[in-house]
Chain A
Amino acid sequence: MKIEEKILLNEIRKKNKDVFNFLFEQYYPALVKFSEIYLHHLPECEDVVQSFFISFWTGAENININTSIKSYFYTSIKNLCLNRIRDLKVQDKYEILYIESLVNTNNIEMILDSDIFDSINAALEALPQQMSEIFCQKYFEGKHLKEIAKELNVSEGTVKTQLHRARTKLREKLRETTNLNFIL
C-alpha cells in the first residue's frame, strides 16, 4: 500500500469525517454500478455499498489492506454481493462477473493504472483459453491486457492527468484536515 493510502486509512481510523466523505463521494457511484452485475437491482446495490461504507468506518481498526484502497473496495463489494446471492446457489468460478463488471464500469485507462489491473489480468489468465480470447476480442480488440498496458504506458495520455488530478484533490483534502503536510 502506498504511503498516502496508509495515511488515508489511518485518518479513517482516527475518525476523520472529511476523509470518509471524500472516499464516499469518490467511490460510491462506481461501486454501486460495479455491484449491478451481481444484484441487478439498484436499491439492493446501493444498500450493499452503504453497508460496506458503514462497516469500513466502524471497523477500520481491524482492516488490513495489502493492495490499494481501490482494489480493497472492489474486492469487498464483490464478496458482499456474492454473499447476498448465496441462496441462489451460484458461484463465480472464473470471476467472470468480476471482470465483466470492472471492464464495463471503468474505462480501460483507469483499470490499467491500478492494482485492479493485476487482479483482472490474473482472472483473465485463469479463464479457459477460448473464453479468455473471446473476452479480449470483445473488449480489447483482441489484444491482451498486458499489451494494451504496455502501449498506453509509453504514451502519456489523459490517464496520468486524470489520476494526478484525483491525487491532488486528495492531498488538498488531507492537508485541510490533518497535520500531515510534510509527508505528502
Chain B
Amino acid sequence: MKDFFDISIIWKKVNQKLSEKEANELQDWARNSLVRKNYAEKTYSYFKTGPKIKTSDINVAKAKRKVSFLIFTKPKITKAYKVVAVFVSVISIVFVLHQINRDNLIAESTVKIEPGKAKATIVLSDGSRHYLDEENPQELNEKGTVILNSGNKLDYKTEHTSDLLHAERLQSRYNTIKIPRGGEFFLSLSDGTKVWLNSETTITYPLQFGEKERKVQLIGEAYFEVEHNPDKPFKVEIEGQVIEVLGTTFNVKAYADESKTSTTLVNGSVRIELGEEQENVVITPGFQCEVNRMNKSYTVSQVDVRSVTAWKEGYYMFDDATLEEMMLTLSRWYDFTFNFKNDHVRQLRFSGKLKRTDRFEDILTIIENTNEMKFKVKEKNVIID
C-alpha cells in the first residue's frame, strides 16, 4: 500500500491544516490525472458539505424489479440451458430418442385432459334429474317455483305466497345440485343469496327457506355471498359442523376425501358450531378456521383470502402449497387421477398463479420446468416421478 494515497489527507485539508508533506502527497497523487483530481474535489466537497444523494433520489421499487428479474428468473434459464447443453453435446442421440418417446406418449393418450366448465345435475324434489350445461338452457318449474337455468347459473324465483300451507310445502321440498369433477356452477337462492359451486360439490337446499332460519347442506367447496337478514340466520351444514352467519361472504371447503375442512371469511362474521361437546369458534374477516374431521380439533389462522377464493375468479393461486395439495386441487377441475411414484416429490412446494382455462399440458410443462419431477400422462391418469 506504499504508493497508495491516504484519503484522510483530504479530510484533514477540510477539518485541520495540512502539513507540507501531506500537501505534497495530495499534489503528487492528483497530478496528471483528471480522474483523481475530480475524485479529490468530490471527496473534499463531501467532507465539507455532507452527502448529496437524498432518499427521494433512490427508486427502490425499480431497483427491486431489476434485481428480482436477475436473480429470480436467471438461475432457471441457466439451469435449463445447461441441461440442454449437456444433452446436445454429450448424449444428443439420447435426447432425440427422449423427444421421440415423448411424442409417442402424447400421441398414445386418446382421452384428453381438459379444463372444467359449467356443468351440473339438479335433482328435484320428485327425484327427477336434469342435466345442466351451457348447451342446454332451460326453465324448470317446481311447485310454482320457477328455476331459471341459463346454462351456467340457476336462479330461483319464488313468488312470495300468503298461502301458509303452500309455503310450508315449499319449505319441505328440497333440491340438490351436484357438480361433477371438472365442473362449476353458480346458484342464486330464493332469498337472494349467491353461491358459487366448485368441482365435485353437492349442495341441498329447500325451495323456500323456513321462518326461523335458512339452512343448506354442503359437501365440497362453495363461496357464499349471503343476503343480509338478521331475523333469519343462514346456516351451512357440513359433516359434523354448522356454520352460522348473518349477512356475510365466505368460502367453505369440505371435501369428503380431505382430512380437514376449512372456512375462510371474506367479510362479516361467522360462527362455527363444532358439536355438543365443543365450544363454538367465531372468526373475523381474513381468518380461516380449519377443522380436523377425525378429532374435531381446530386451528384459526390468518390467510391470504384472495388465494383461497381465487378459484371463483377463474384462477388458482398456490402459496407455498405442496405438489400433492396442488395436484389434488387441479385433479378436481381437470378431472384426472394421479399417483406419486416417489414420496419426496409429494412434499415439493410451489407458489404461483394459474388460470383455470390454461391447457393441462401447459401447466404440467410449467411444473416440469423446475426439473424436479417428470409427469407421465396415460388416459386420465397422471404419474408423477
Contact = CB atoms under 8 A, between A and B. Distances in A.
Interface of A: 17, 21, 24-25, 28-29, 32-33, 36-37, 40, 42, 45-46, 49-50, 53-54, 57-58, 85, 88-94, 96-97, 100-101, 104-105, 130-131, 134-135, 138, 177
B212 interface: no
Q: Max chain B CB contacts within 10 Å: which of A25, A88, A93, A177?
A: A88
A28 B64 contact: yes
A9 to B, nearest CB: 16
A58 B72 CA distance: 10
Given A25-B60, A36-B46, A100-B47, A89 B71 contact: no
B304 to A, nearest CB: 9
A131 B43 contact: no
Contacts of A25: 60, 64
A90 B43 CA distance: 12
Given A24-B64, A28-B64, A40-B39, A90 B7 contact: yes
Contacts of A36: 46, 51-53
B51 to A, nearest CB: 5
Interface string B164-207: 00000000000000000000000000000000000000000000
Given A32-B58, A40-B46, A58-B71, A131 B8 contact: yes
A48 B42 CA distance: 18
B56 to A, nearest CB: 9
Nearest to A21: B64
A97 B39 CA distance: 13
A157 B75 CA distance: 45
A131 B51 contact: no
Contact of A91 (B1, B35, B67, B75): B1
Nearest to A137: B15
A68 B7 CA distance: 27
What 4 pairs between A and B have smallest CB-CB spacing? A91-B4, A40-B42, A96-B8, A93-B6
Contacts of B43: 37, 40
Nearest to A82: B7
A54 B4 contact: no
Contact of B16 (A46, A97, A131): A131
Contacts of A45: 53
A37 B46 contact: yes
B49 to A, nearest CB: 10
A96 B11 contact: yes
B63 interface: yes
Interface in B42-81: 42-43, 46-47, 50-53, 55, 57-58, 60, 63-64, 66-68, 70-72, 75
Q: Is the interface of B mostly helix, strand, loop or mixed?
A: helix
A60 B12 CA distance: 39
Interface string B80-93: 00000000000000
A46 B63 CA distance: 8
Contacts of A33: 51, 53, 55, 58
A90 B63 contact: no
A8 B16 CA distance: 44
A89 B31 CA distance: 13
B64 A92 contact: no
Interface string B1-33: 101111110011001100000000000010000
B36 interface: yes
Contacts of A32: 53, 58
A33 B68 CA distance: 21
A29 B3 contact: no
A53 B35 contact: no
B23 to A, nearest CB: 16
Contact of B63 (A50, A88, A92, A138): A50
A41 B156 CA distance: 69
B35 A88 contact: yes
A23 B46 CA distance: 28
Contacts of A54: 67, 70-71
B64 A91 contact: no
B7 A96 contact: yes
Given A25-B60, A100-B11, A138-B15, A85 B39 contact: yes
Nearest to B320: A177
B58 A46 contact: yes
Nearest to A134: B15
B6 A37 contact: no
B72 A17 contact: yes
Contact of B60 (A29, A58, A96): A29
A104 B8 contact: no
Given A32-B58, A54-B71, A131-B16, A91 B53 contact: no
A42 B53 CA distance: 7
Interface string B316-357: 000010000000000000000000000000000000000000
A64 to B, nearest CB: 21
Nearest to B55: A29
A53 to B, nearest CB: 6
Interface string B250-284: 00000000000000000000000000000000000
Given A36-B51, A54-B70, A42 B57 contact: yes
